[in-house]
């Protein structure tokens, strides 16, 4: 990535907030916390110049537009920088978890124009973490999920030698059986899209705030499956709040592994064989349930 020598996190914060900067400290990776002259703190994220910052900004705005979950305000973005409010963090609590569950259900109910729909103003070529993710629309969730969320990452994992061709056949069979495995038809939901616990911030204001989305139109159970994949504090209470607002099908938990195929294969592409083995285990379990 080539960035002008005049650019820096502090310069980006000043440009997008219109306030002088009084201090800055690095956080992790590409993140810097910048303090403004009025005492507020913002987070500046360095993009890679390939549209990641703009995609994330569009996703944050789309989620915030629903008026449901807590989302840090976006001050500005360009090809290299994203500037958002800093979330003052507190402690995870059961009460905040129940509220988050209700808010997440309301976010999903805000809907999307189609499965695979990108946020307004967001690029079709987006990202999930460090992996590219194409937002291509479809009207049928099983075929769209197979074609645009599972198989692209399976092919990359096979090409890299992370998944063997014979092993890949198990995932391909799940894709063929998705019409039977998908459960009751659902309208396109407004998804965070990368809802693992690291993107769930427990705010000092007593509510949950979400960061770093891979937002798109999808199946609401995909976000819930992602929460379960890496664990989340008070997950049972989150689900209680969710079901209070939007009941789930009785057998929804049986489909968690199907929805986890997407993030597991993304992780297999990025981080290797351990995640590929988890994806294969999920695929084989789904096939056993299918009979």
The residues carrying an active-site annotation are 194
Contact 115/137 with Cβ under 8 angstroms?
A: yes
Coil, helix or strand for 210?
A: strand
CA 148 vs. chain centroid, Å, equals: 15
CA distance 166 to 184: 31
Residues 6+ apart with CB under 8 A from 126: 51, 52, 55, 59, 118, 132, 133, 134, 135, 214, 216
Measure Cα distances from 104 to 53, 63, 69, 70, 290 in Å. 23, 10, 6, 10, 29
**Which has the closest alpha carbon to 220: 247, 202, 201, 180?**
247
Instruction: Note whether 203 and 70 are within 8 A (CB).
Output: yes
């Amino acid at each position: 990535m080539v960035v002008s020598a005049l650019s820096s996190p502090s310069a980006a914060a000043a440009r997008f907030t219109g306030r002088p900067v009084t201090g800055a400290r690095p956080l992790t990776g590409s993140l810097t916390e910048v303090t403004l002259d009025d005492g507020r703190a913002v987070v500046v994220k360095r993009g890679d110049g390939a549209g990641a910052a703009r995609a994330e900004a569009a996703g944050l705005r789309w989620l915030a537009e629903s008026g449901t979950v807590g989302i840090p305000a976006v001050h500005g973005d360009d090809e290299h920088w994203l500037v958002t409010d800093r979330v003052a963090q507190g402690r995870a609590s059961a009460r905040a978890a129940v509220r988050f569950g209700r808010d997440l259900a309301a976010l999903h109910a805000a809907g999307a124009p189609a499965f695979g729909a990108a946020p307004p103003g967001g690029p079709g070529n987006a990202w999930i973490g460090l992996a590219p993710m194409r937002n291509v629309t479809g009207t049928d969730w099983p075929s769209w999920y197979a074609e645009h969320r599972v198989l692209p990452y399976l092919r990359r994992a096979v090409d890299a030698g992370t998944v063997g061709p014979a092993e890949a056949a198990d995932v391909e069979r799940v894709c063929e059986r998705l019409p039977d495995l998908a459960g009751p038809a659902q309208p396109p939901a407004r998804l965070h899209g990368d809802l693992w616990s690291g993107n769930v911030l427990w705010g000092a204001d007593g509510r949950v705030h979400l960061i770093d989305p891979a937002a798109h139109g999808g199946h609401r159970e995909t976000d819930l499956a992602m929460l379960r994949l890496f664990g989340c504090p008070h997950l049972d209470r989150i689900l209680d709040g969710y079901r209070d607002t939007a009941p789930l099908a009785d057998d929804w938990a049986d489909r968690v592994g199907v929805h986890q195929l997407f993030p597991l294969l993304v992780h297999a592409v990025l981080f290797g064989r351990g995640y590929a083995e988890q994806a294969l285990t999920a695929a084989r379990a789904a096939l056993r349930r299918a009979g």
